Amino acid sequence: MNPRRVSILLAFAPLVSYPAWTERSSDPLVIGACDAYKQSNAEYSTCLPGELQALEQELVKYVNAQRRSLRTAASGERGFSASALAAAARRVDVAEGAWKKYRDAHCTMIENSFTTGTGSFSARVACQIRLTRSRLHQVWEDGWTKLPEPQ
């Protein structure tokens, strides 16, 4: 096996222990259409941002549905329940902003842990993909989206 692939594989090994829904493949080097075994490093690094962008668009859809459902629920209530649900709807954006800052800071740390080599960019984007999938599922589990379980 190519030594570069082995070093990348070892770097991604901790990702294998996450729940099945965090990755479509059990192999952390195969993310959607991106396959580190079949693509060059440059091709893989070019492929990953597209996967992340598609996943982020899906997350926006679920977060918007969550906010909409909370607002709709608030409009159908009175008193404390209405104000609590309206406050929850307003906090959706605050929570998303805080989560995104965490994701980006954590994944930048992963990127920086690659002191040399060309795998640092791929490691950061793969981390962002993994955490975004996890967040998407978390938003769905909160029960306010009324959308099907994300894949």
- CA dist., res. 45 & res. 29, Å (int): 11
Identify the pLDDT of residue 143. Answer: 85
Q: What three-state secondary structure class fits 83?
A: helix
Comparing 114 with 39, which gets the higher pLDDT?
A: 39
Span 100-105, mean pLDDT? Answer: 98
Domain ranges of the chain: 3-141
Say whether pLDDT at 29 is over 80: yes
Can you tell me the distance from the alpha carbon of 96 to that of 62, in angstroms, rounded to the nearest whole number? 11
Q: What's the residue count for the chain?
A: 151
- Answer whether 0.85 is exceeded by the pTM: no
Q: Is the pLDDT of residue 21 over 50?
A: no
Give residue-wise pLDDT tens across range 44-83: 999 999 999 999 999 999 999 999 999 999 888 888 888 9
